[in-house]
């Protein structure tokens, strides 16, 4: 069976907002937007540290190597969480996707910048797979877009994540950080379709 034609693909290295992080810690993100109504997201965390990713906190129920639908859950961003933001070009409303290493997820629609947050219904839960090695973690997700996203409209997008390093605290990673604080909702950081 042939793979559906791809409308948009974006792969990027994410940069941390906070300083003082281990120099060998790297985060990458990729999004594939396809005509068949699915969004594919992939995130990679890699370190050259001899301790590997031992200090990276991931939620209970780690789904290492398994694919799961997980459950809708709020507050995923309070620990390690992978995020994507989609916006209709030229419109104030946008959507926030949160993906957890536990397989749980959340999807919210906002009417405007941080205003009017509403849970967005899905026809089916996203498929999430996590693989973890000593020096690397990879999360892949396949997210259904129909019926809530208009067909054939490529989104403006932002890719980001929160890494919880236990006692070292949270670090916020995104395509860029133009403000004096980490703000994944800032539309000036979205890539335009």
What's the pLDDT at 1? Answer: 43
pLDDT in tens, 2-32: 454 567 788 899 999 998 888 789 999 999 9
pTM of the model: 0.90
Top mean-pLDDT range of 46-55, 59-68, 104-113:
104-113
Is residue 29 within 8 A of residue 43, CB to CB? The reply is yes
| CA nearest neighbour of 137 among 17, 69, 32, 49 | 49
Which structure tokens are listed for 169? 């605290």
Return contacts of 144-148, CB within 8 angstroms, 24+ apart. Answer: 144/37, 144/38, 145/37, 145/38, 145/39, 146/37, 147/123, 148/95, 148/109, 148/120, 148/121, 148/122
Distance CA 102, CA 12 (A): 24
pLDDT in tens, 132-182: 888 899 999 998 888 888 877 888 999 999 999 888 889 999 999 988 889
Q: Does the structure show a pLDDT above 80 at 101?
A: yes
Segments making up each domain of the chain, as ranges: 6-16+23-177
| Domain 6-16+23-177 architecture | Sandwich (2.60)
């Amino acid at each position: 069976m042939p793979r559906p034609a791809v409308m948009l693909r974006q792969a990027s290295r994410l940069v941390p907002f906070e300083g003082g992080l281990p120099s060998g810690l790297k985060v990458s993100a990729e999004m594939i937007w396809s005509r068949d109504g699915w969004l594919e997201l992939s995130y990679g965390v890699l370190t050259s540290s001899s301790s590997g990713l031992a200090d990276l906190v991931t939620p209970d129920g780690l789904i290492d190597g398994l694919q799961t639908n997980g459950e809708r859950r709020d507050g995923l961003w309070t620990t390690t969480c992978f995020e994507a933001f989609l916006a209709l070009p030229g419109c104030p409303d946008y959507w926030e996707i949160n993906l957890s290493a536990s397989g749980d997820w959340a999807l919210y629609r906002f009417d405007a910048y941080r205003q009017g947050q509403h849970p967005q219904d899905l026809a089916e839960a996203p498929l999430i797979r996590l693989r973890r090695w000593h020096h690397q973690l990879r999360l892949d997700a396949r997210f259904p877009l129909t019926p809530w996203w208009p067909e054939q409209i490529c989104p403006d997008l932002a890719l980001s994540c929160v890494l919880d390093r236990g006692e070292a605290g949270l670090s916020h990673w995104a395509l860029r950080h133009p403000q004096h604080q980490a703000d994944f909702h800032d539309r000036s950081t979205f890539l335009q379709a």
